[in-house]
């Protein structure tokens, strides 16, 4: 019996690299925060925040008798933040274009193409001043 | 079922086919009711799972969102039709599920769904097989 413990850091490093290498904001690579707003959030929009969501905890659907945890479903959220709805719409489209259907190349992992799992509408957040807009997409990728 | 009466002729026992046809018709008539029962039962499990894991007002973020309202999200989660969930007046469910500009997401809807979906899927298959086999809803 084998028990695989995947290292999610290499996977999410590939996701971040994909986004920064393909999305250009005002002549610079997209600023992405990892679980929190990026350091330059106050001076630069739009930006994105990547949140790692729970991996699929259903071993019955993801493994086999020899290794119940052989496969895993990575699940993450990209929150696009901007000063205007238009900025957020622009960034969300860029993020989707960069990720949807792309197959990450990660050492030690065989990945499927990335799919969109869900998301939330664009909303104005008056909890910050001046108000910012945010939109949410969630993505998944099966890896083994 | 075919009964061979000679090398070149076969008579079909039509009564068995009719019986099978009646069972399929019964199953089709009951399928919608069975599906609704299934949705109702597992929808309620989804509600219970969400109530079990939804963040309560113990953190600063929850207070900021809900302190002005005398409403608790946990009490507002309910099933209004088979499989149909409402959060009532607790509009801030989406801020917890997906986060805000400053607040991290604290999902409770999707994790609850993940927890119930495999048992629900197995139960659906079991009920469908039982329905076709016996002509009655389990």
Closest Cβ opposite residue B100 in set A61, A134, A138: A134
- Judge whether residue B8 has pLDDT over 70: no
User: Average pLDDT for residues A119-143, to the nearest whole number?
Assistant: 94
Measured between alpha carbons, how far is B25 from A36 in angstroms, rounded to an integer? Answer: 57
A72-82 and A132-143 beta bridge pairing: antiparallel
Give the pLDDT confidence of A52-77 residue by residue, as tens digits. 998 765 656 677 778 877 888 899 99
Residues of chain A neighbouring B114 (CB-CB closer than 8 A):
54, 56-58
Give yes or no for a contact between B96 and B88, defined as CB atoms under 8 angstroms apart.
no
* Lowest pLDDT segment from A46-50, A114-118, B10-14, B70-74: B10-14
pLDDT above 70 covers a percentage of chain A that reads 96
Give yes or no for a contact between A75 and A139, defined as CB atoms under 8 angstroms apart.
yes
Give the pLDDT confidence of A9-27 residue by residue, as tens digits. 999 999 999 999 999 999 9
> How deeply is B2 buried, as exposed, middle or buried, from its count of CB atoms within 10 A (0-12, 13-18, 19+)?
exposed
CA triplet B90, B93, B96: central angle to 5 degrees?
140
Measured between alpha carbons, how far is B15 from B21 in angstroms, rounded to an integer? Answer: 10
Q: Please give the pLDDT value at position B64.
A: 47
Q: Please give the pLDDT value at position B67.
A: 46
Verify whether the Cβ–Cβ distance A128 to B102 is below 8 Å: yes
Give yes or no for a contact between B110 and B96, defined as CB atoms under 8 angstroms apart.
no
Q: Report the predicted TM-score, pTM, of the whole model to 2 decimal places.
A: 0.80
Average pLDDT of chain B, as a whole number: 83
HSE, side-chain direction, 13 A CA sphere, residue B120: 19
Which residue do the tokens 């009490």 mark?
A: B75
Verify whether the Cβ–Cβ distance A127 to B103 is below 8 Å: yes
User: Average pLDDT for residues B74-92, to the nearest whole number?
Assistant: 92
Q: Please give the pLDDT value at position A58.
A: 63
Give the pLDDT confidence of B15-72 residue by residue, as tens digits. 878 888 887 888 888 888 899 999 999 999 999 999 999 988 654 444 444 444 567 8
Choose among B124, B115, B134, B54: nearest CA to B90.
Answer: B54
What tokens appear for B1 in the block? 């079922």
> How deeply is B109 buried, as exposed, middle or buried, from its count of CB atoms within 10 A (0-12, 13-18, 19+)?
buried
A32-34 and A47-52 beta bridge pairing: parallel
Measured between alpha carbons, how far is B3 from B10 in angstroms, rounded to an integer? Answer: 6
- Judge whether residue B79 has pLDDT over 90: yes
Mutate to test the interface with A, among B98, B99, B107, B108 (most CBs of A within 10 A): B98
């Amino acid at each position: 019996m084998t028990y695989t413990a995947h290292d999610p850091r290499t996977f999410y490093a590939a996701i971040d690299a994909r986004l920064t290498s393909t999305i250009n904001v005002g002549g610079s690579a997209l600023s992405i925060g990892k679980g929190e707003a990026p350091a330059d959030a106050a001076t630069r929009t739009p930006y994105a925040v990547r949140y790692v969501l729970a991996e699929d905890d259903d071993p019955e659907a993801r493994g086999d008798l020899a290794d119940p945890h052989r496969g895993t479903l990575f699940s993450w959220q990209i929150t696009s933040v901007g000063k205007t709805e238009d900025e957020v719409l622009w960034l969300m489209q860029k993020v989707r274009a960069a990720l949807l259907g792309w197959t990450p190349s990660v050492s030690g992992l065989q990945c499927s193409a990335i799919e969109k799992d869900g998301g939330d509408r664009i909303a104005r957040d008056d909890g910050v001043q001046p108000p910012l807009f945010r939109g949410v997409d969630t993505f998944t990728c099966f890896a083994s | 079922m075919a009964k061979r009466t000679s090398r070149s002729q076969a008579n079909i026992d039509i009564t068995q086919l009719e019986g099978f046809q009646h069972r399929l018709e019964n199953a089709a008539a009951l399928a919608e009711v069975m599906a609704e029962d299934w949705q109702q039962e597992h929808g309620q499990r989804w509600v219970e799972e969400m109530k079990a894991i939804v963040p309560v007002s113990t953190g600063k973020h929850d207070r900021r969102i809900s302190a002005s309202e005398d409403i608790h999200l946990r009490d507002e989660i309910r099933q209004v039709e088979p499989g149909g969930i409402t959060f009532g007046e607790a509009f801030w469910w989406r801020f917890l599920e997906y986060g805000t500009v400053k607040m991290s997401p604290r999902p409770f809807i999707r994790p609850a769904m993940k927890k119930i979906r495999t048992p629900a899927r197995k139960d659906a298959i079991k009920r469908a097989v039982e329905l076709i086999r016996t002509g009655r809803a389990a």
